[in-house]
Amino acid sequence: MNGFNYYSDIFKITEERLKILSDTALERGGDYADLYFENTTYFNLLLKDGVVSSGGFHTDFGVGIRVLKGEKTGYAYSESTEMAELLDAAKAAAVIATGINDRRVYGKVIDRKQDIYPVKEDWRSISADKFLPFLKELEKEIFSRDSRIIKVIARMSDSVSDVLMYNSLGEITYETRPMGSVSVTAVFQQGDKTENRTASRSYRTGAELIGKELVKELADEAVKGIDARFEARRPKGGTMNVVMGAGASGILLHEAMGHAFEADFNRKGQSIFSDRIGQRICPEGINIVDDGTLRWNRGSGNYDDEGVPGEKTYMVEDGILCSYLHDRISASWYGVKPTGNGRRENFRYHPIPRMRATYMESGNADPEGIVASVRNGIYVDEFSNGQVKIGEGDFTFFVKSGYLIENGRLTAPIKDINVIGNGPQALADIVAVGNDLKIDNGTWTCGKEQSVPVSCGIPTVLISRLTVGGE
């Protein structure tokens, strides 16, 4: 891990200047100020029609300066680290404190050194031509799996971010955050029908991610279930049992419940879970977690973007709502410690409470037994395009693939339908949780005001009633 000098060289900054900027940001009476320096390089390659015919790299460099007065936020940023421009940004952010009497104390957090994503091969040290054979191999492997494949589109990207954070409490934190992602879409043709499947993997890891193991994993997933996809039909709609398969269907947990646990919505009273801390919101034995400490996970962070160490946060423990997801503002407002959820897309945005890796812990039910217990319902193994109304709790999710369950058995494949429900009601209606938690390591990105990388997971879960839209 790099030391302070590595970052101070990149950003041409000293501790003395950090203090001057922080003092300037507070000159109108702000309670707290922080600075977020970022130097990110992105790299990407695209294989299409058999050729890696497009690629590039991108540099993003700048500093965000935030001032808090009470819970109010002033924010400005500069794309230069010239002191004059930084001072201008500090003064612009300072304006928020003008004429406001609210005051809040923002406390220090305990710095807990951790290295959740040790890197073997630095992405920035490897030339593009090293990755070209990987994409060609991936394409070849996928074509070899199924004669119905007519096209393969493969993308790989990496990013490395050097981040230095400083605040008016004198806390200095810094780290370098890697990210590697590969996604592939295979297009299949059978008679006059066309279907496609996409598989992706994304981790906070170094270039050691790229290799034969990943080729096999992505190829397996890209062709998995394609026969069922061609046969799949829209089922008859209605209210029925819904079994969520382990893994990617955890996105429903992220959208339908996780956002409503974010403390900014609750602080403003807008979430359906506002004022429900300490109350039972789902059956005993259910634990729902937002975790920033999973090794190499896309949602993990040694620190969040406010310099708070990443941690594992229980939102629901044994069915009781026990914590929201906090940034420094909401933590101060609620009088609790920040949970390391203050995240931002980049230096252009101020941090807000965001999820990291959100999942339900395993229960004790046998997954096959869960399916066997359903007389009439659907099994969903892949959701997409979910949306939730935070205040009402109503959600809608599109079912990309799944099966009918008839008399305890998976029967006809289904697709292109939605399930709709209400978050708190769905939690209360959980009747079985499998012992097979699976984290999905796809390229999940959450888009609440800003885009941040996340991941999700869930064991096999049975919800007793959800509305399924069909023919």
Q: Which is nearer to another protein, 114 or 196 (CB)?
A: 196
Which residue spans within 17-168 are E strands per DSSP? Answer: 32-48, 51-69, 72-78, 149-167
Sorted by sequence, the CB contacts under 8 Å of residue 250 that are 6+ apart come out as 244, 358, 359, 360, 439, 440, 456, 457, 458
Q: Which is nearer to another protein, 52 or 263 (CB)?
A: 52
* Residue 468 binds to another protein (criterion: CB under 8 A): yes
Residue 280, strand partner residues: 320
Residue 63, strand partner residues: 37, 78
* Residue 129 binds to another protein (criterion: CB under 8 A): yes
8 A C-beta contact, residue 300 and residue 310: yes
* Residue 192 binds to another protein (criterion: CB under 8 A): no
Q: Which is nearer to another protein, 151 or 337 (CB)?
A: 151
**Residue from 270, 279, 364, 376 in contact with another protein (CB under 8 A):** 270
Q: Which is nearer to another protein, 12 or 108 (CB)?
A: 12
Q: Residue 103 Cβ, how far from another protein at the closest point, in Å?
A: 14
* Residue 368 binds to another protein (criterion: CB under 8 A): no
Between 15-25 and 83-94, two packed helices, what is the crossing angle to 10 degrees?
A: 30
Residue 316, strand partner residues: 288, 321
* Residue 277 binds to another protein (criterion: CB under 8 A): no
Q: Residue 248 Cβ, how far from another protein at the closest point, in Å?
A: 15
Which residue spans within 79-217 are E strands per DSSP? Answer: 149-167, 172-190, 193-203
Phi-psi region of 329 (alpha: psi -120 to 50; beta: other; left: phi over 0): alpha
* Residue 122 binds to another protein (criterion: CB under 8 A): no
Candidate segments 23-31, 115-123, 146-154, 300-308, binder of another protein by CB under 8 A: 146-154
Give residues 78-107 in contact with another protein (rule: CB under 8 A).
78-79, 89, 92-93, 95-96, 100
Residue 433, strand partner residues: 461
Give residues 229-248 in contact with another protein (rule: CB under 8 A).
234, 237-238
Listing DSSP states for 252-318 in one string gives HIIIIIIHHHBHHHHHTT-STTTT-TTSB-S-TT--EEEES-STTBTT--SB-TTSPBP-EEEEEET
* Residue 190 binds to another protein (criterion: CB under 8 A): no
Binding mask 16-55 for another protein (x = CB under 8 A): -----------------------------x--xx-xxxxx
Give the integer Cα–Cα distance in Å for 166 and 21. Answer: 10
* Residue 151 binds to another protein (criterion: CB under 8 A): yes
* Residue 398 binds to another protein (criterion: CB under 8 A): yes
* Residue 422 binds to another protein (criterion: CB under 8 A): yes
* Residue 396 binds to another protein (criterion: CB under 8 A): yes
Binding mask 62-81 for another protein (x = CB under 8 A): x--------xxxxxxxxx--
The site for another protein, by CB under 8 A, has a size of 78
* Residue 448 binds to another protein (criterion: CB under 8 A): no
Can you read off the two tokens belonging to residue 77?
């940023």
Give residues 300-359 in contact with another protein (rule: CB under 8 A).
348, 350
Give the integer Cα–Cα distance in Å for 210 and 347. Answer: 29
